[in-house]
Amino acid sequence: MKIAVIGTGYVGLVAGTMFAKVGNNVVCVDKDQDKINLLNQGKVPIYEPGLNQIVLDAQDDKLIEFTTDINKIKDCKVIFLAVGTPSAETGEFNLEFIKTAAKEVAQVISETSDFKVIVNKSTVPPGTMELIKKILNENSNKNFAVVSNPEFLKEGKAVDDFESPDRIVIGTESEEAKEILSQIYEPFSLKRKKLIFMKPVEAELTKLFANTFLANKVALINEFAKICVGFDADIMNVRNGVCSDRRIGWEFMYPSVGYGGSCFPKDIRGLVHSVNQKNINTRIVSSIDTSNREHKSHLAEEIKNYLADKGGITGKTAAIWGLTFKPRTDDMRESAAIDVINFLLANGAKIKVNDPKGMENAKKIFGEKIQYCESKYDALKDADILVLLTEWSVYRSPDFEEIKNNLKLPVIFDGRNIFDPDRLNNLGFDYIGIGRKYLR
């Protein structure tokens, strides 16, 4: 089938590439000429494991095309909208990109007579599909159906998630669109039927509910981590006792420096704005983002408190391991590392950092304010403390003797609770994690 994808960001590029992988002819359109040039050279502008090779294979098979020419979508049966919906200053979703994309698509399909399916994959507030339909009606031939098809991809595992999804949510009231989308997604649901059909607004809310629920799990365990410290308890022991309950489970129930990325913060704030516009009272939903944002300063405060009787933060050098908001991505959007580093800089500290994939994006944020180190051990030289912020596998089993020999103060601040505090104590370290303190 001929498929178009408008937008070659994280969602659009993964979707377009995976549709091409199973044999569809795909055209990906983006206004960023530099990005299109990179893609046409076989270079992927984001880091996502496995994606680059799939792009190269699709290009070799002539199944995918990258272009800035919107008119290339004219012959496509299905057109996916996968453009950004960033947060406005008010917290609401900024829909300008999606409105522009819908208008441009409408103008192109107005010159055609065949039935088109316009599918939105961008995360949007409830009711956006009606807005898209209105734009299309005003500017096109009206021979189309609109579909809400939210994505549920995890950065770092997006290829696997797209190839073997838990579910495929389709929001439309068009029987013809249902049939066409069923054909497109059949290769991704061979073992069992994964398509779930509903109204467009229900599909939009499904995406927002899923992210809200997962973000709430993150917020709740991080708040309980603070409670544990107050009662001289270890959150990891409490977590084991709680998450063994099948009704609760282990996923997203892990103490950390706070959530980040392009989805949770933006989507929760956008949902809160939407429900406020409807005068709906949502105490839990409204507090989730606040809790998570406030928690990002928690580890920095722990550092400040620990150093208070050791000369303070000013003049100290912190070695930072991990910058991205999670492993297996180069994405630093809303990363807790930004908050922690800014806090330390504001209090007079010097910063040395290492990250397997996030260094270039960090340079765009911090410039020359911090020192970038090629190896994790280089970051330790002349450092006073070690702060781990992202649980990359390369940090999981370091040489602790080398760490201790380099650090001026034998202390590790573990923002992901990946180290064994008893072992570190026996090696002569002070250990401060999230919801656990082991001081000598």
The residues assigned a catalytic role are 263
CA nearest neighbour of 302 among 214, 229, 401, 408: 229
Please state, as a whole number, how many other Cβ atoms lie within 10 Å of the Cβ of residue 202. Answer: 15
- Say if residues 353 and 335 touch (Cβ distance below 8 Å): no
304 near 347, Cβ under 8 Å?
yes
CA 237 to centroid of chain Cα atoms: 28
Q: Distance between CA atoms of 86 and 95, rounded to whole angstroms? A: 8
State the sign of the Cα–Cα–Cα–Cα dihedral 398, 402, 404, 407.
Answer: negative
Got the DSSP string for 382-395?
A: T-SEEEE-S--GGG
Query: Residues with Cβ < 8 Å from 87, sequence gap 6 or more?
Result: 93, 94, 265, 266, 269, 270
Nearest to 64 by CA among 104, 109, 111, 14: 14
Q: Cα–Cα–Cα angle for 269, 334, 263, nearest 5°?
A: 50
Q: Which helix (H) or strand (E) holds 108?
A: helix 96-109
Tokens of 108: 């192109």
388 contacts 322 by C-beta, under 8 angstroms: yes
* C-alpha gyration radius of the chain: 24
The token pair that represents 4 in the structure block: 């178009």
Q: Which residues contact residue 233 at a Cβ distance below 8 angstroms, ignoring those fewer than 6 apart?
A: none
Tell me the C-alpha to C-alpha distance, in Å, between residue 293 and each of 213, 287, 313. Answer: 16, 10, 22
